[in-house]
Amino acid sequence: MKRAWVYILECSDRTYYTGCTTNIEQRISQHQQGTYPGYTSTRHPVTLRWSQEFPDIRYAIWAERQIKGWSRRKKEALINEQFDLLRKFAQSKEMIERRSKRKQLSHRAQ
């Protein structure tokens, strides 16, 4: 199987783009030049903020899809290697609201 990379770019408008490739140098160059069609083509220059190599393209595609669904805060935790925050930011808004309500109720009971 062919090696692959998942990467996160920061675009000129400060948004993040997550992608997957088997040739990271070429792909970043395409994004930088605006020759890779799509989201980044009008948002360059771009800056590579994070990348990870995978031994198989299938794993890279799976990771890319997962990261694309993450919030900005969770992506920034990954970029900044704040791995302890990944779990915290993975919690749904509903779960966070329920915990907050429980804390409020327990404080009122005290």
Output the pLDDT for position 63.
97
Output the pLDDT for position 62.
97
What average pLDDT values come out for the chain (110 residues) when binned by 10 residues?
A: 94 97 96 91 94 96 95 94 84 69 71
Total number of residues shown for the chain: 110
Contact 4, 60 (CB under 8 A): yes
Contact 4, 24 (CB under 8 A): no
Token representation of residue 102: 């429980």
Identify the structural domains of the chain with CATH numbers, from first to last: 4-109 (3.40.1440)
Output the pLDDT for position 110.
63
